[in-house]
Chain A
Amino acid sequence: MILQPGRILETAEIGTLGTVVRIAAPEIAAQARAGQFVHVRPGTSFDPLLRRPYSFNRIDRQAGEVELLVKPLGPGGEWIASRRPGDMLDLLGPLGSAFVVHRATRNLLLVAGGTGVAPMRVLAEQEASRRNVTLLMGGRSVGHLWPSDRLPPSVEYVTTTEDGSFGITGRVTDAIGPLLAWADQLCGCGPWPMLGALGRLREQAERAPAYPGRTPLIDAQIAVEQHMGCAMGVCRACVVVTAQGNARVCREGPVFSLGDVAFDEGEPATVGILA
């Protein structure tokens, strides 16, 4: 983990999903792994104050570059998304845990929702030449989907939209059935309700031995989001409840085993002490 300024090389808007920012940051790129994130300072003053965490959207070790998918949400996100090539960004990273793809995995299923596609693209690029990879992505409408020309051609891309504007109408859980029967391993990232739905499927798989998606669901890894402060593991703002107790998304996470994360009505379960 290092604190390093990175020079912006290119920015590109991706529909309504966000802005892809390509940054020259050789030392961070050299250490970065899929699922890890970088904490970006949204300006040079203390307003807005908090850094913003972004999962790597692409890691190019050879070129010494990383890409981030920045949603222009709030003043911090807007500032970062509106930077231009040549501008510098204050980066802290790489931080947190990473996805682990097993050597024995032949069929890898990636499940993405919204900006959660960021680490899934890294996995797609990393794994496409090693095994069969399918990316299942859901969004509200076609503008919320990742463009297929920014994926390796050998990756199978299955999409769902809630308004039916592209691909299968519905959500990722409506299309996941046959893919679960096919996959050996599942990696996912997206909004909490999506992760919660995956968690419920996992519970069903555990109860019913004949459930077709048993294997990938039992072994699934997910990257989660939480309101974050320091990202250094000190403030304990970003904790989620796991089988091992409170876990910091910035240190023990953001990648957790799906079965370890405690859900409550599709949202992250929360500790019960009220002041």
Chain B
Amino acid sequence: MPSRRERKKVERPIDVSRSIEESLEEAASGEEEEDVVDLADLDDASAKEVVAAEPEHPASDLGIRLRDALTTEAPPRVEARPPVRHPETDVDLAVDAARGLRLRNPVLTASGTFGQGTEYAELIDVSRLGAIVNKGTTPVARPGNPQYRIAETPSGILNSIGLENPGATEVARKYGKQWAALGVPVIVNVAGYSVDDYVYVVAEMAGTPGVVAFELNVSCPNVKGGMLFGCDPGLAAEVTRAVKAETDLPVIVKLTPNAPDVVAVARACEEAGADALTAINTVLGMRIDIARRRPILGTGSGGLSGPAIRPIAVHITYQVAQAVSIPVIGAGGITSAEDALEFLMAGAAAVQIGTATFADPLAPLKTIEGLAAYVREQRLGSIREVIGAALPRG
């Protein structure tokens, strides 16, 4: 048993694209990974149990095996389950979605459209996703906006939910364990009204199991002052810097298309230490109820999402990708692998799927499968080869 030394703070990227076994092997042989050596001392099966929080055999089964082992000569054979194969298995879809954040594939779910990940886990295998981004989390609980909160538009929806969420402490308490069991990296979407709000949420969520990065929502159009930080390069930089000082995890800033100069905001965030940028949040919009002669949404205006905004999002991704050297995560109306490829070729290192999931809960998984098929058909070494393929050369 190696003695436990004071853990040195080591700058190392979080790599969730590799299997637990690979990580453990490296941990066992590596010099700098002291904090996981204890795990590697355990035998394979129990180490897997500790890390995956998913025992290979139910407890009752273990009891039977123990009893059998004590009463019979030959130990019972434990049959290994064949690994589940998916269309993306054996295809290199891994990407660096942010500085220090390698994901198994470039398909993420967008904040506000995937709850805390546990809801859609009842329907789809969320562990196949690159990562999930949780619902915008504020320092304290928010009841959200008055009805109506949603309205359909051509190829899109307008929403004005108002960041209804139970607050950072409750989110960390309630979902930490569940996130660890989901088997998918979680990016916490952080929202607030002041620099202190953002720092508070990040501090409160620190150490929550499953959390691999923070995404700063400096661009919510549906709460008072929500968009302020995202519209002003100076304020965006200030909040980025403050959060970077609070956490060692990668910090992603979600840009708003409603800013007068998105590229300036992007550059300011990069200079302030952002590890990636998400482009884009929703576009401000409105619908009028002609029978009642007033806006449909309770707050009047709302955020437009869905395929209707895709060309806007691709364009901003294309501009921002050329202006910064950190990864850009494309978002806005993606419904398929073809849509995702547009963003990747426009310079995005990863994509988020949001509104499409409401219509087709399988859209994120179909997109992963489609990207894998594309890599195969095009005989690429990895999906990374198409990132930025449509950007001007030189």
A interface residues with partner B (beta carbon < 8 Å): 1-3, 41, 46-51, 74, 76, 90, 92, 226-230, 232-240, 245-246, 268, 270-275
CB of B387 to closest CB in A, whole Å: 25
A2 to B164, CA, bound (A): 27
A232 contacts across to B, CB distance below 8 A: 115, 119-120, 122-123, 361
Q: Is the interface of B mostly helix, strand, loop or mixed?
A: loop
A236 contacts across to B, CB distance below 8 A: 135, 144, 149, 161, 164
Q: Can you list 24 A-B pairs, Cβ within 8 angstroms, ordered by A?
A: A41-B359, A46-B356, A47-B154, A49-B155, A49-B157, A50-B150, A74-B152, A76-B152, A92-B361, A229-B358, A230-B113, A234-B114, A234-B119, A235-B115, A239-B147, A239-B149, A240-B147, A245-B143, A270-B147, A271-B143, A273-B145, A274-B299, A275-B222, A275-B226
A1 contacts across to B, CB distance below 8 A: 122-123
Known: A1-B122, A274-B298, A275-B226. 7 other contacts (CB 8 A): A46-B307, A46-B356, A46-B359, A49-B306, A235-B113, A235-B358, A236-B144
Contact with A along B160-173 (1 / 0, CB 8 A): 11101000000000
A46 to B155, CA, bound (A): 6
A90 to B113, CA, bound (A): 20
B interface residues with partner A (beta carbon < 8 Å): 112-116, 119-120, 122-123, 135, 142-152, 154-157, 159-162, 164, 222-224, 226, 298-299, 306-307, 335, 355-362
A92 to B361, CA, bound (A): 9
A235 to B305, CA, bound (A): 13
Q: Which residue of B lies closest to A41 (CB)?
A: B359
- Is B298 a contact of A51 with CB atoms below 8 Å? no
Among the interface residues A76, A226, A245, A271, which one has the most CB atoms of the partner chain B within 10 A? A271
CB of A93 to closest CB in B, whole Å: 11
- Is B112 a contact of A235 with CB atoms below 8 Å? yes
Q: A3-B361, A274-B299, A275-B224 are in contact. Are A50 and B146 (CB under 8 A)?
A: no
Number of residue pairs A-B, CB distance < 8 angstroms:
125
Q: Is the interface of A mostly helix, strand, loop or mixed?
A: loop
A229 contacts across to B, CB distance below 8 A: 150, 157, 159, 358
A245 to B170, CA, bound (A): 16
- Is B357 a contact of A230 with CB atoms below 8 Å? yes
A72 to B224, CA, bound (A): 37
A270 contacts across to B, CB distance below 8 A: 146-147, 298
Among the interface residues B113, B151, B360, which one has the most CB atoms of the partner chain A within 10 A? B360
- Is A46 a contact of B335 with CB atoms below 8 Å? yes
The 4 A-B pairs at the shortest CB distance, nearest first, are namely A234-B115, A237-B150, A270-B146, A47-B155
A235 to B151, CA, bound (A): 13
- Is B358 a contact of A49 with CB atoms below 8 Å? yes
A3 to B298, CA, bound (A): 31
A234 to B119, CA, bound (A): 7
Q: A47-B307, A246-B143 are in contact. Are A227 and B150 (CB under 8 A)?
A: yes
A234 to B116, CA, bound (A): 8
B362 contacts across to A, CB distance below 8 A: 3
A76 contacts across to B, CB distance below 8 A: 152
A51 to B362, CA, bound (A): 14
Q: A47-B154, A49-B306, A235-B161 are in contact. Are A272 and B146 (CB under 8 A)?
A: yes
A233 contacts across to B, CB distance below 8 A: 115, 119
Q: Which residue of B lies closest to A232 (CB)?
A: B119
A48 to B307, CA, bound (A): 11
A49 to B146, CA, bound (A): 23
Q: Which residue of B lies closest to A226 (CB)?
A: B147
CB of B32 to closest CB in A, whole Å: 39
- The one of A3, A268, A275 that contacts B123, using a Cβ cutoff of 8 Å: A3
A272 to B361, CA, bound (A): 31
- Is A49 a contact of B359 with CB atoms below 8 Å? yes
Q: Which residue of B lies closest to A1 (CB)?
A: B122
A235 contacts across to B, CB distance below 8 A: 112-113, 115, 150, 159, 161, 358
- The one of A50, A227, A230 that contacts B147, using a Cβ cutoff of 8 Å: A227
- Is A237 a contact of B155 with CB atoms below 8 Å? no
B143 contacts across to A, CB distance below 8 A: 245-246, 271-273
